[in-house]
């Protein structure tokens, strides 16, 4: 069989002018199609991203994420350093009343009474955020102070580090507090062991 762009003289012998013209047109069409496919292939190759460039970009993104996460942790730590936990808060209290109670400690950013997300009812504790750590430190002196007939329990707010307490990976450590058989993966474990009549599997424990 002749290659594209070549004529085999034997194939053209005996052809009329019309048939020969048809052969030439078919050949030209095949050549044009091959050139088109080549152009498409080259265009695709040019569009494919350079792997080295992609790796550099991914590394840059990872560094940016790490930087933002570090800044977020610092910001949260700063906020918590200016905040105090207030327990034993009367359920009828308002945030404005709490702010007035702690106003002698320094400028207050906000007071937030925690409520149940489902029912909206107060949960008996709140957080007071001051504009400086000095205010939060002074607020600790109001521990056991009376507010609406109750002794408030004031303590530093626990530092809330992002992702703290969230497991990473599968891990093989001890099960967390309150968990039961956390390593169980489910699935069929085979037929249960059979014991002879009168045998108790835990008899050796007694």
Pick the more confident residue, 152 or 70. 152
pLDDT at residue 131 tops 80:
yes
For residue 132, what are its two tokens? Answer: 């400086």
Domain boundary assignment for the chain: 9-47, 83-156
Provide the greatest CA pair distance for the chain. Answer: 117
What's this model's pTM, rounded to 2 decimal places? 0.44
**Can you name the residues that pair with 155 across neighbouring β-strands?**
85
Instruction: Tell me the CATH class for 83-156.
Output: alpha beta
pLDDT higher than 50, residue 180: no
Q: Report pLDDT digits (tens) over 83-123.
A: 999 999 999 999 999 999 999 999 999 999 999 989 899 99
Across 26-35, 76-85, 179-188, which has the greatest mean pLDDT?
26-35
Q: What percent of the chain has pLDDT over 70?
A: 62
pLDDT of residue 77: 56
Q: Is 139 exposed, middle or buried (0-12, 13-18, 19+ CB in 10 A)?
A: buried
The full 3-state SS of the chain, as one line of letters, equals: CCCCCCCCHHHHCCCCHHHHHHHHHHHHHHHHHHHHHHHHHHHHHHHCCCHHHHHHHHHHHHHHHHHHHHHHHHHHHHHHHCEEEEECCCCCCCHHHHHHHCHHHCCEEEEEEEECCCCCCEEEEEEEEECCHHHHHHHHHHCCCEECCEECEEEECCCCCCCCCCCCCCCCCCCCCCCCCCCCCCCCCCCCCCCCCCCCCCHHHC
Which pair of tokens denotes residue 142?
Answer: 């109001």
- How far is the first Cα of the chain from the last one, in angstroms, to the nearest whole number? 92
Q: Which residue is it, tokens 């002749």? A: 2
């Amino acid at each position: 069989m002749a290659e594209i762009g070549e004529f085999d003289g034997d194939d053209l012998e005996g052809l009329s002018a019309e048939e020969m013209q048809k052969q030439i047109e078919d050949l030209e069409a095949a050549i044009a199609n091959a050139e088109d496919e080549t152009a498409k292939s080259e265009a695709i190759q040019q569009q494919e991203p350079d792997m080295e460039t992609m790796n550099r970009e991914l590394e840059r993104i990872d560094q940016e994420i790490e930087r933002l996460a570090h800044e977020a942790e610092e910001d949260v730590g700063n906020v918590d350093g200016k905040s105090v936990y207030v327990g034993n808060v009367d359920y009828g209290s308002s945030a404005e009343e709490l702010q007035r109670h702690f106003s002698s400690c320094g400028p207050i950013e906000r007071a937030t009474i925690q409520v149940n997300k489902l029912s909206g009812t107060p949960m008996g504790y709140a957080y007071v955020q001051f504009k400086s750590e000095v205010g939060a430190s002074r607020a600790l002196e109001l521990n056991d102070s009376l507010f609406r007939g109750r002794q408030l329990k004031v303590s530093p707010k626990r530092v809330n580090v992002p992702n703290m307490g969230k497991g990473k990976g599968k891990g093989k450590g001890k099960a967390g507090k309150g968990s039961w058989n956390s390593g169980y993966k489910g699935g069929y474990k085979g037929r249960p062991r059979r014991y002879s009549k009168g045998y108790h599997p835990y008899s050796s424990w007694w």
